[in-house]
Structure 1
């Protein structure tokens, strides 16, 4: 199917090269957690693997920070180019890239994908496989996922295995014609390594079955790391509550009204602090320029009048592994960002998920057999959340015991992805 070249690539002296494409920057700690977990999985199944991470960055400065700050010598970072808006084209009209983009956009649109992934293409011939990472890219949550179907098409055209790695997929039923296209497209990729059963059920419903493999999210495999010198910056008290809230939730909770969501978030945090009497740590997990948890939670905390002395806003400088260490110290954690809740669950912390898509419900359903610990956007009232957290505190020991017995099997599911991939490449 793939030209019979993978045995040589996998067993060469340098070790196989894997392209990890489709991620956002490490400032989205979920994206970093996916990379760290994936690297750990593949090192278990392949000897001396190397990794080309091609991700989306909002600026060259952001890319350079990640590239120079990378601590794993086996990882090389590259920058992809997203679709350019009219405003971006006008702002950068003097750049040669802009003229090339505009020409292809209007006269040769079928070539646009090669411009987007031009820095990846030279590495394809040596790649054992392309892994489309990012978790929930193949959905309508962030618009039509053309950037990622383009990635698949390039890999297919170049006869490279393309795997949707640890993915939640769909639903696409809001656009029936597009759902039909995606069903055909998804049947053409090498593998869909689905991280939760809701995705598997959805794919089965649109006729995508043969290339679907059940796994767990690779972020379950990321090890926590104690931040150096954290005692000099913030004190992490025992028996505290961790909360992560995101500006993105405004789209689902208040119809896009960010100010109203900020006011509601302030009421939620104040209510939890007052009801439990415990210190509350506000823990950012995504701090990219256009969706910054830290800035949002700072504004929310500033609106709290009483009890603010019991609320600590965690600085945004910690890595994904360091943030997981902090989350792991909490008595209970409540989070909007999926990978913040994965960090909590994999640390054995009772976790309440603020769920706006299938991914949170699917992960919880697979872990607990139900999604009682998920609250949808229509349930995010301060009274509901404080009551739920209080209930989880009263059941803390039982939940912790259950997680201790269950998480190892979830991590086995994450590790199984490496076995599936190895079997595909050896076939």
Structure 2
């Protein structure tokens, strides 16, 4: 393998989503293990110009360069109506417009990794942006790997599932991060290019915040991550009802422990902001407000992981907040609104006992589950200490598999 290879990490979201940053940090760690002095071009989707410029300015890894992918920013974009016929009438031109900043780099890249975790699913609508990415790369005869991902299911739209069956057979490799994806792909006949790995975020280092952001985490504290996204899976998307329920969940947890409760945001993008949501949840607390600490949105992914690692127990909605906890061997309750949380838990524990589905998210059920997990905390930590090295090794071996299949 040549020295100084360049990898394109494409299709990700902004670092304001700490999960997106965690995937990048873990991926660069994996590739550095197998390749000599690699460099990285991150081609990500941003919600505005300021977000992109901030990410470029705050990037601390000198081997990473950022570029932006193009998309209609919102329905208020004055040009969005013009792009609809453009997309329909000239799909090839449209694909190339989305990834025009990336295209000049493809020829000299070693391979392109489509990163982002759960982009190839129906969780956020039909994933055209990412199948377009695959097409743009494969048309230029470069390896395209769907990297450390959950894929599917697509069965809710049978004709689209058929399209994806054909599409997924064409990509160089699908590196699946949990067994649910493996089982689904096998069921629809995708086998020859599928490899079992673990989410690269398991390998991200936890870094203590610097002195200007120093935080003292009280011993035996409980960390909670709840997100506005969960309203979509709860009471028909009624945000007001979900805020009230989230508030009652937090208050019920304060009743079962004398220790501090840390509310920990993990995604703080303009369109989905855990911090603003958790701020509202805290402000509605009628009792024990002094026990509830809201973490400011100033910590990056590695710093947030360090804070989470100090918890006695963590309960989280955002998948990568739970990966930060699990990889730190912290007993973790996952609020599981998609297959990925269940799959990751099954991979680690062999069961889904530490997952709660949206329909079970009542204050009483959550508090009772946390209480029982606190009682079993020592045993859960022992299970995690035994299981996590295997998961980290699975994540690391993705680099070895990449070398084998891309030559």
Mapped to 1, the partners of 2:132 and 2:88 lie a distance apart of 17
Mapped to 1, the partners of 2:107 and 2:351 lie a distance apart of 44
- Answering whether residue 292 of structure 2 is matched by residue 303 of structure 1, we say no
TM-score by length of 1: 0.93
Q: CA deviation at 1:106?
A: 5.0
Mapped to 1, the partners of 2:148 and 2:225 lie a distance apart of 23
- RMSD over aligned CA atoms reads 1.4
The structure 1 residue matched to 2:12, chosen from 18, 23, 46, is 23
Q: CA deviation at 1:253?
A: 1.3
Mapped to 2, the partners of 1:220 and 1:109 lie a distance apart of 37
Q: 1:200·1:212 contact (CA, 8 Å) conserved in 2? A: yes
Q: CA deviation at 1:111?
A: 1.6
Q: 1:240·1:281 contact (CA, 8 Å) conserved in 2? A: yes
Mapped to 1, the partners of 2:72 and 2:198 lie a distance apart of 30
Deviations for 1:394-427, whole angstroms, at most 9, x for unmatched residues?
111111111111100100000010000011122x
Is there any run of 5+ residues in structure 1 with no aligned partner, and where?
1-9
Aligned match of 1:209? 191
Q: CA deviation at 1:127?
A: 0.7
The structure 2 residue matched to 1:162, chosen from 137, 144, 165, is 144
Mapped to 2, the partners of 1:400 and 1:358 lie a distance apart of 23
- Answering whether residue 169 of structure 2 is matched by residue 187 of structure 1, we say yes
Q: How does 1:32-181 map to 2 (within 5 A)?
A: 32-83=21-72, 87-88=76-77, 90=78, 101=83, 104-105=86-87, 107-181=89-163
- Answering whether residue 341 of structure 2 is matched by residue 352 of structure 1, we say no
Deviations for 1:306-362, whole angstroms, at most 9, x for unmatched residues?
111100000100010000000000000000000000000000100000001010000
Q: How does 1:250-265 map to 2 (within 5 A)?
A: 250-265=231-246
Aligned match of 2:220? 239
The structure 1 residue matched to 2:251, chosen from 266, 270, 273, is 270
Q: CA deviation at 1:221?
A: 0.3
Cα pair distance change 1:308/1:85, threshold 3 Å: closer
Q: 1:83·1:116 contact (CA, 8 Å) conserved in 2? A: no
Mapped to 2, the partners of 1:103 and 1:404 lie a distance apart of 54
Aligned match of 2:391? 410
Aligned match of 2:343? 362
How many residue pairs align between the two structures? 407
Aligned match of 2:2? 11
Q: 1:29·1:339 contact (CA, 8 Å) conserved in 2? A: yes
TM-score by length of 2: 0.98
Indicate the SS of the match to 1:210: coil
Q: 1:361·1:374 contact (CA, 8 Å) conserved in 2? A: yes
Mapped to 1, the partners of 2:194 and 2:224 lie a distance apart of 34
Q: 1:83·1:147 contact (CA, 8 Å) conserved in 2? A: no
Q: 2:47·2:73 contact (CA, 8 Å) conserved in 1? A: no
Q: 1:54·1:78 contact (CA, 8 Å) conserved in 2? A: yes
Deviations for 1:277-299, whole angstroms, at most 9, x for unmatched residues?
22100000000000000000001
Indicate the SS of the match to 1:353: strand
Indicate the SS of the match to 1:87: coil
Aligned match of 2:354? 373
Mapped to 1, the partners of 2:390 and 2:51 lie a distance apart of 36
Cα pair distance change 1:382/1:350, threshold 3 Å: same
Q: CA deviation at 1:274?
A: 1.2
